[in-house]
Every structure is written in structure tokens, then in C-alpha cells.
A and B are shown apart, each in its own frame.
Chain A
Amino acid sequence: MTEEKEHREYAGQFRRSWAKLKRNKAALFGGALLLLYLFTALFAPVLYPGSPSAPNLMISLEKPSRDHFLGTDELGRTIMGRIIWGSRVSLLIALGVISVGLVLGVPLGLISGYYGGKIDFAIQRVTDMMLAFPGFLLALALVAVLGVGLKNTVISIGISMIPIYIRLVRGCVLSVKEQVYVEAARAVGSKDFRIIVRHILPNVMVPITVQTSLGMGTAILFAAGLGFLGLGVQPPNPEWGAMLGSGRAYLFNAPHVATFPGVAIFLAVLSFNLLGDGLRDALDPRFRI
């Protein structure tokens, strides 16, 4: 396959995938939801000026009303404001986690799959070991070592994502490596780095993109879980999971305190999952009719 033709085929594939994505109403809804989420996170200071963490005990545990759209929590802080500011925290965590996973997982997967041999064996055994612990437990164990807080939440969940990327990328590399054009590139003496970047990486991009979208959702879920247990982002920072955790104590007389942060988590995760599903359907040629 000549390079020009290869490019044309990529372009054609892209157009088809885009057309398919545009027809997928669920994915579009997910995309819109995601935009809303990004908008909220970006413009939090405009949407809710003032501190989301300043207590006002005069108005604690108020039910939703015109003044406080989603009510107030036990310290009289507006839940709406905390959810708006909380979107920044969760987005920051999701981006951080994915960066850790991508930056460490993808190169390790590429190396492991492309070179094989001893280095592959070593990487795979470490991956096996990490995967012997279910993701959330691995993150929990890391938190136990590193301690709580925003930074450690990102590191812990990020590390727990690395083996997933290694496995994914390695599998793709193994299947692409044997293909004719890679063999041909190797036969004409292209450098390994060039082969990886030009021929292998583009083929691995599709699963990475899908995994990244779904992984952002998982990262938000995990971070909220840690926050809920009191092992994630610490108060008074507005983190959705932690808000839920503290609202739990007031389930009987003020259930709204625990309800709305959960809705926020759900919608954020839903947006990434919808988009990820849509991307997979649009990009994965196996699902094409």
C-alpha cells in the first residue's frame, strides 16, 4: 500500500466514522452532556461566584427552594454551588488519571508488544500482578500507602489504570505487527521508532480513544468512591463523592444532600460512557454493517 493511498483510506474511514457518529443519537446526547459538563467546569467562577466552601450555619440542611435551587448541606453551603465547583475537581482528576495511564501505559504497551522477548515478559508479569487486584482495590491499596488528598487520588487511580492500557496496546500491536505493511517497512530497513510512530500507533489509536473515553468515566467513579469513603479529596473542597459521604448522615431528614451530588456523578460518567460507546461503534470496523 502506498503512503498516499494509505492516507486516502484513513480520510475515507474518518468520514465514514464521523457520519456514523453523527447518526448515533445516544452518542450525540453524550457529547452534549459532556460539553455542558466542560462548560460548567470551565466557567464555575462565573456560574457560582464566591466560595463554595464557606459555611453559613444559619441556613444548614435547607430543602431545595427558590433561593437554594438544590438546597443546602449540613454547614449551610449551597449544594448547587458545590456541585458546580465540584465539576472542576472531578474533571481535573479524570484528566490527571488518564494522563498518568496514557503516559506510562501506552509506551510500555508499545514496547512490550513490539519488542517481545524478555522485556515483554518482565512487563507482562508486573501487569499480571497489578491486575490480580481489582482496579478499585488497587487504588485503595495505593491510597493506603500514599495517603489521602487530590494529588494522591490522581496518582493512585492513575497507576491502577496503567495495566489496562498496557494490555490493550500490547494486544493491538501484536495483531498489527504481523501485517504486510509493517513487515514491508521493516524489510526496507525503517527505524523501529519510525515504524512504531508511523504504522503501529495510528492503528492503536482507535482502541486507545475508546478506552480513554470510558476510562474517564471510570476515573470519576473511582475518585467519587474514594471521596465517599473519606479516602479521596478532603473537605472542605467540593468533591462530589465526599459530598455524598457527608450527606449520608442526614439521609433521614435531608435526603437531598446525598441525592444531588450522586446525580452529578451519574451524569458525568454517563456522558463519557455514551461517547465512548458511540466512538467504539463508529470507529471499530468490526461493527460496521
Chain B
Amino acid sequence: MFQYVIKRLVFTIPVLIGISLLLFFMLRMLPGDPAQVLAGQMATPEEVENIRRQLGLDRPIHVQYAVFFSRLVQFDLGRSARTQNPVTREIWARLPNTVLLAVVAITLACLFGIPAGIVSAVRPYTWMDYLVTSAALFGISMPVFWLGLMLVVVFSILLQWLPAGGTGSWKHVILPSVTLASFVIAFIARMTRSTMMEVLSQDYTTTARSKGLKEEVVIVKHALKNALIPIITVVGLQFGLLLGGAVLTETVFAWPGLGRLIVDSILARDYPMIQGAILVFGLLYIFVNLVTDLLYACVDPRIRYD
């Protein structure tokens, strides 16, 4: 098991290098001179030259990458062009908010999505199934930011039950996390339904029934345990969508997280900050994939750890 973890960790190294390359060339791909971009339109040629030297842009490209990479490994992502604060510090201040939102949302999604999918698969083509499948279809077709705004209209403006944005109390978490979870709930419910339907049509399900097991036992012990394998994979993948959705949700609810930071940075052309935020999103995603793989190994006895 330990070896398996190590092996998985080793596998992430090439991806990390790839991401660093992507980030490195992102700045170089910018139309025009990055030093000029960073210095702004009003900068004098001396100032631009100064920034160029400061960033090492006058050196050969492979040296630039080496410097960039060694700084990256030390979590030195430079300073924000907008606030002049170290990028790492700014990110650290926002990260917990985004993680909180994502964790609450993914928990909600599993709590509601998986049971809904199971009910739907076990009683196919009944009113319950139609209810779940159409709700799920609505869920994946709805723009999250619109749902967020509509929830604000109903719960903050009309009913005045919950705050429309910001942070502070548990009440502030409800609307953003429900908004963020909606898409994922829908996706997980759809996925669970189709996986369960497939598992329920497998030979071993018939075997389980032929043994005279109660239907609940067949569904939970025999079918769900098998269905969990693909479901875990999907939940892991959905975490990525959740991060994407976080950008929009955080904007709707003025939630001070990484997503909001990235949008503000793009609007302000704050490239060091964009790089940093995207890197952290990439790392989060890789981390989640790793956890998914490990969970996967726990559920499926066929996975070998060597």
C-alpha cells in the first residue's frame, strides 16, 4: 500500500513539470513584451528595462525556465503586480475559503447525488426515476452563476433568510455551497443511475438474487459496492468541475476565495498572481486525483499495489 502511494506520487512529477512549463510559456506567449505589460502603459523605457532585468527576461530562455522552476519549487511565485504582496501570501489567505466551499459542496453532492441515483436506478421508469432524471438534467443544464443569482433573489431579497454574499457565519456558506453543489449533485446522480443500472444487469447480481438475498442486500452489498468504483472516479473528476464552478460562484457571492482572486487578477492583468493561482488549482486537482486513486484501491480488491 505504502509503495503504491509512493508510485502514484512519482507519477505526478511529470505532470507537475508539464504544468510548470505551461505556466512558464503562458507569460512568454503574451502578445507584446511581458516587461512592458507588467510595467503598464505609462511606464518609461527605463522602468521597463528595470523590470526586464528584475525578471531576468534578458537572459536565455532555458536559464529563465531554470530560475522559474527553482523558485517554483521553493514556493516563491514572485510579487503581485497589483498589490505588491508576495503571491504565496495572497494565495494562502484565500485558499481555505475555496477549500471550505469545495468540501461542503462535494459532501452535499455525495449525500444527495448518490442516493438519488440509486433510487432512480432501482425503480427505473417510475415517477421517482423521472423526477430524479429530469431534476438532474435541469441541474447540468443550468448555468451555476444564474442559479446563484436566483437563489439570492429568493432567499436574500424576497425572504431575507440568508445573506446575499460575503463571509462570516455558517449562514454565509449555505447559498454558495448549494449553488456550487447543484451541478455536481446532478452529475453524480446521473452517473450513479447509469452505473447502478449496468451493475444491476450483471451476472453476479442475478447470482445474488438466486441465493434468495433480500433486495436491499442485493442493492447495497452486491451492487453498490461494485458501482462505487466508477462513482469514486467520477466524484474525483467532478472536483475539477467544482473548482471551475468555484470561480463563478465566488464571483456571484463575493466570496473571498481563489476563484475570485484569479478573475480579479485576469481583469487587472496581474500575471504573477494568475500564474500562482492557476498553479495552486492544478496542484489541488492533482492532489484530489491522488486521493481518488487511493480510495479506488481501497474499494476494488482487483487493484494491485505493486
Contacts and interface: CB of A to CB of B under 8 A. Distances in A.
* A–B proximity contact (CB within 8 A): yes
Interface of A: 26, 125-126, 128-129, 132-137, 140-141, 143-145, 147, 217, 221, 224-225, 228-231, 241, 244, 248, 251-252, 255, 258-259, 261-262, 265-266, 269-270, 273-274, 277
A147 B141 CA distance: 27
A140 B274 CA distance: 10
Contacts of A244: 143, 145-146, 149
A140 B15 contact: no
Contacts of B26: 141, 144-145
Contacts of B152: 251
Given A132-B282, A144-B26, A262 B149 contact: yes
14 contacts: A132-B285, A135-B244, A140-B262, A144-B274, A228-B145, A229-B247, A229-B263, A231-B267, A241-B143, A244-B146, A251-B153, A266-B141, A270-B137, A273-B137
A129 B143 contact: no
Most chain A CB within 10 A, of B142, B146, B153, B267, is at B146
Given A134-B241, A244-B149, A274-B137, A140 B247 contact: yes
A270 B278 CA distance: 30
Interface string B227-245: 0000000000000111111
A262 B146 contact: yes
B278 A136 contact: no
B143 A224 contact: yes
A26 B164 CA distance: 35
B244 A134 contact: yes
Nearest to A139: B244
Contacts of A258: 146, 149, 153
A217 B251 CA distance: 22
A265 B278 CA distance: 27
A207 B204 CA distance: 28
A231 B268 CA distance: 11
A72 to B, nearest CB: 18
Contact of B278 (A129, A133, A135): A133
B138 interface: yes
A217 B141 contact: yes
B78 to A, nearest CB: 16
Given A144-B26, A231-B267, 4 more contacts: A133-B278, A135-B240, A224-B145, A266-B138
Interface string B282-297: 1001100000000000
B240 A229 contact: no
A270 to B, nearest CB: 4
A128 B15 CA distance: 7
A221 B245 CA distance: 11
A167 to B, nearest CB: 12
A16 B305 CA distance: 45
A161 B285 CA distance: 18
Contact of B240 (A134, A261, A265): A134
Nearest to A135: B244
B108 interface: no
Contacts of B15: 128-129, 132
Main SS class of interface, B:
helix
Contacts of B141: 217, 266, 269-270, 273
A276 to B, nearest CB: 10
Contacts of B244: 134-137, 140
Contacts of B266: 140, 143-144, 231
Contact of A136 (B30, B157, B164, B245): B245
Contacts of B282: 132-133
A171 B242 CA distance: 25
Contacts of A145: 26, 29-30
B248 interface: yes
Q: Top 3 nearest A-B pairs by Cβ distance? A: A136-B244, A262-B146, A134-B240
Nearest to B22: A129
Contacts of A255: 153, 157
A125 B137 contact: no
Contacts of B144: 225
Contacts of B45: none
Contact of A225 (B22, B149, B248, B271): B248
B247 A132 contact: no
Contact of A277 (B18, B137, B153, B247): B137
B60 interface: no
A141 B145 contact: no
B241 A136 contact: yes
A54 to B, nearest CB: 26
Contacts of A251: 149, 152-153, 157, 164
A270 B141 CA distance: 5
B149 A132 contact: no
A137 B281 contact: yes
